[in-house]
Chain A
């Protein structure tokens, strides 16, 4: 028995294909979150390398466990560090800032100090070991 086919030409409509592809593209663009990692860059000194530095070229920066900062022997507010360091760098461009923290110092306070030093364009930052 023969079935009479009325429908002829089985083509898939491709006119809306572009729209579908566009929708997919936009969906992927929206859902992928490009969370670029950002932060404060630092290069650690190689292991077992100690260089003798003249005392006048070192600026000690101590952070205690409650987040208070001592810069060159004087207490200072964290937000003033960049200004003071900038001045000191102008006087002595060879200045190395040695950051020393207490074991119980919060990471937040430490990052704030490093950020301030970066703001003062201090490139020579040394991180002393905690005792």
Chain B
């Protein structure tokens, strides 16, 4: 027995609004990606296995420490004594700030320990030692 089709549906997907959808996606990605703001110092990060990801880029402040003991925050060099003022301002403007310490693997602990103390004085206590993932 033959069925007679009464309705003739056009089975095409409408593509007229396709560019709009794609543009929306494009704009979404462009808005949400945060470009790298500061270039920092040339450093070689140490490697570690038990690493955790930083939750949000917006609540992160970077502190660069080169192997010569230079300290850079937002592309400006600071003395160890001035770190607390910068960090205190950051801490006030964003209470949930996490300090990401990007130190060279050859940096000396004297400087790092000094930064620890400065951060404690600035009450910015959440610290993250930035590392690479170690592969072995």
Contact = CB atoms under 8 A, between A and B. Distances in A.
A38 B116 CA distance: 19
B120 A25 contact: no
Contacts of B2: none
A128 B100 CA distance: 20
Interface in A1-50: 14, 17-18, 20-22, 24-25, 28-29, 32, 34-47
A38 B51 contact: yes
Given A108-B46, A130-B109, A47 B121 contact: yes
Nearest to B105: A108
A105 B112 CA distance: 10
From DSSP, what is the main secondary structure of chain B's interface residues? mixed
Interface of B: 15-16, 18-19, 22-23, 25-26, 29-30, 33, 35-36, 46-54, 57, 60, 65, 98, 100-101, 103-110, 112-113, 116-117, 119-121, 123, 125-131, 133-134
Interface of A: 14, 17-18, 20-22, 24-25, 28-29, 32, 34-47, 63, 101-108, 110-112, 114-115, 118-119, 127, 129-130
